[in-house]
């Protein structure tokens, strides 16, 4: 099979190589999936440099999220059959023509979603769900400021917050991206963060500030967010795509009465397994019911993997870039 293999951990994807390798066979409890689509996520890019917390041994195939069709079943797998459309995580990664994964990591692909939509759905919407529902415990009518709103996890938060009845401010540094979000997701307001945003947010919220701020960006965005958060607000730390991990003087949450909450959806499920299963079920039920609309920015051939990676690294996307082997 054809696969993208990380042979060495180096900058600029220099250790990645597209090559032909033997097609794996599923072991007991595993499933071989013919990959139809694999989402590109920031952790995939970080893994090629060894900068993500999970560091698989070299060589490895990246691609943490994929969808496809069951090709073969390992011993003991009874919940799927050959030909089933499935979605989930991959042990032997998704940036390949075939992927092996534990059967427990797969679920039926929602009929309402295309393979590309399904491939990029799970992690982004699960992150948004854990952030908004479990951590912030948002209420209908609350103002939710979403930074990085054009990215995969940001756009998922915009979409989910609307479903939950919140008032949403989508924030980005690109007017073009904000127009796409406004046209397709109808947030209550959009804000271009270039040159500052705190006064704009205060004006939109009637001087109160945002009740919940969802921040996958960090850096200067975090620093200014603490200036426009409402009393008793919740600032959700989702990631640091800006490249800078910010610091905060604790007198600020003391004086303004807000909370800073870390969001790691996967770890939340590991710490609270029952709640984790509830979270996953809730997110996929939304997909099956057609209440959400994950957006695919562009589909790339496996041979064009570098362009797919660059689309994310260069902040071109509105939604998800997807590799279609």
- Domain final residue pick, 219, 246, 265: 265
The Cα–Cα gap between 64 and 148 comes to 21
The percent of residues in the chain predicted with pLDDT above 90, rounded, is 93
pLDDT tens digit string along 222-267?
999 999 999 999 999 999 988 899 999 999 999 999 999 999 998 9
Please check whether residue 51 lies inside any domain of the structure: yes
Following DSSP, what letter does each residue of 51-96 receive, concatenated? -SS--PPSSB---SEEEEEEEEE-TT--S--TT-EEEEE-SS-SSB
Identify the domain containing residue 152 by its residue range.
124-265
Shared domain for 162 and 90, answered yes or no, is no
The Cα–Cα gap between 115 and 11 comes to 30
**What CATH code is carried by the domain that includes residue 18?**
3.90.180.10
pLDDT of residue 243: 85
Please check whether residue 285 lies inside any domain of the structure: no
| Tokens describing residue 210 | 């945002």
Please check whether residue 63 lies inside any domain of the structure: yes
Rounded mean pLDDT of the chain? 95
The percent of residues in the chain predicted with pLDDT above 70, rounded, is 99
In the chain, the number of structural domains is 2
Could you identify the residue written with the tokens 């060495």?
8
Residues in the chain: 325
The Cα–Cα gap between 103 and 111 comes to 19
pLDDT of residue 82: 98
| Residue 4 phi, psi (nearest 5) | -90, 120
pLDDT of residue 221: 97
- Are the beta carbons of 192 and 124 closer than 8 angstroms? no
Q: Give just the sign of the alpha carbon dihedral 154, 159, 160, 165.
A: positive
Please check whether residue 286 lies inside any domain of the structure: no
Is the pLDDT assigned to residue 159 strictly greater than 80?
yes
Shared domain for 104 and 234, answered yes or no, is no
Shared domain for 96 and 128, answered yes or no, is no
pLDDT of residue 170: 98
Confidence band of 100 (pLDDT split at 50, 70, 90): very high
Please check whether residue 271 lies inside any domain of the structure: no
Confidence band of 90 (pLDDT split at 50, 70, 90): confident
Q: State mean pLDDT over 53-77.
A: 94
Query: In Å, how far are 27, 66, 78, 99, 121 from 103, measured between CA atoms?
Result: 10, 13, 9, 12, 18
pLDDT of residue 91: 64
Shared domain for 213 and 242, answered yes or no, is yes
Please check whether residue 247 lies inside any domain of the structure: yes
β 65-73/2-6 pair status: unpaired
pLDDT tens digit string along 8-33?
999 999 999 999 999 999 999 999 99
Please check whether residue 277 lies inside any domain of the structure: no
Shared domain for 210 and 309, answered yes or no, is no
Shared domain for 200 and 92, answered yes or no, is no
261 class by beta-carbon count within 10 Å (0-12 exposed, 13-18 middle, 19+ buried): middle
Shared domain for 128 and 259, answered yes or no, is yes
Shared domain for 304 and 254, answered yes or no, is no
Shared domain for 233 and 168, answered yes or no, is yes
Query: In Å, how far are 35, 91, 103, 165, 266 from 30, measured between CA atoms?
Result: 15, 10, 5, 40, 21
| Residue 39 phi, psi (nearest 5) | -75, 150
- Are the beta carbons of 90 and 99 closer than 8 angstroms? yes
Shared domain for 261 and 128, answered yes or no, is yes
Question: Quick one: which H or E segment has residue 246?
Answer: none
- Are the beta carbons of 38 and 119 closer than 8 angstroms? yes
Q: State mean pLDDT over 160-184.
A: 97
Q: State mean pLDDT over 112-139.
A: 96
**What CATH code is carried by the domain that includes residue 220?**
3.40.50.720
Shared domain for 155 and 245, answered yes or no, is yes
Shared domain for 131 and 255, answered yes or no, is yes
- Are the beta carbons of 177 and 186 closer than 8 angstroms? no
Is the overall model pTM greater than 0.85, yes or no? Answer: yes
Report CA 138 to chain centroid distance, whole Å: 19
Following DSSP, what letter does each residue of 119-176 receive, concatenated? HTTHHHHHHHHIIIIIIS---TT-EEEETTTTSHHHHHHHHHHHHTT-EEEEEES-HH
Please check whether residue 161 lies inside any domain of the structure: yes
């Amino acid at each position: 099979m054809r696969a993208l293999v990380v042979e060495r951990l180096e900058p600029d994807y220099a250790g990645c190589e597209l090559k032909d390798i033997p097609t794996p066979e599923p072991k007991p409890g595993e499933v071989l999936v013919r990959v139809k689509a694999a989402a590109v996520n920031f952790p995939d890019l970080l893994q090629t440099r060894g900068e993500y917390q999970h560091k698989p041994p070299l060589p490895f195939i990246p691609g943490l999220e994929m969808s496809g069709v069951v090709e073969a079943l390992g011993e003991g797998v009874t919940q799927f059959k050959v030909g089933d459309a499935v979605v989930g995580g991959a042990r032997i990664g998704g940036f390949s023509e075939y992927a092996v994964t534990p059967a427990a990591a797969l679920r039926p692909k929602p009929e309402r979603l295309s393979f590309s939509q399904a491939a990029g759905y799970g992690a982004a919407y699960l992150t948004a769900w854990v952030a908004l529902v479990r951590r912030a415990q948002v209420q209908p009518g609350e103002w939710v400021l979403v930074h990085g709103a054009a990215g995969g996890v940001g756009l998922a938060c915009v979409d989910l917050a609307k479903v939950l009845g919140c008032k949403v401010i989508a924030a980005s540094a690109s007017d073009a991206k904000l127009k796409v979000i406004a046209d397709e997701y109808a947030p209550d307001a959009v804000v271009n963060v270039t040159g500052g945003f705190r006064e704009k947010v205060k004006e939109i919220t009637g001087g109160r500030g945002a009740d919940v701020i969802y921040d996958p960006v960090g850096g200067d965005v975090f620093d200014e967010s603490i200036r426009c958060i409402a009393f008793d607000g919740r600032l959700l730390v989702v990631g640091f795509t800006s490249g800078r991990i910010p610091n905060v003087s604790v007198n600020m949450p003391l004086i303004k009465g807000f909370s800073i909450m870390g969001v790691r959806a996967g770890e939340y499920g590991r710490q609270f397994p029952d709640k984790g299963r509830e979270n996953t079920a809730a997110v996929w039920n939304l997909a099956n019911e057609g209440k959400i609309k994950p957006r695919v920015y562009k589909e790339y051939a496996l041979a064009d993997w570098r362009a797919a990676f660059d689309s994310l690294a260069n902040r071109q996307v509105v939604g998800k870039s997807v590799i279609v082997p």
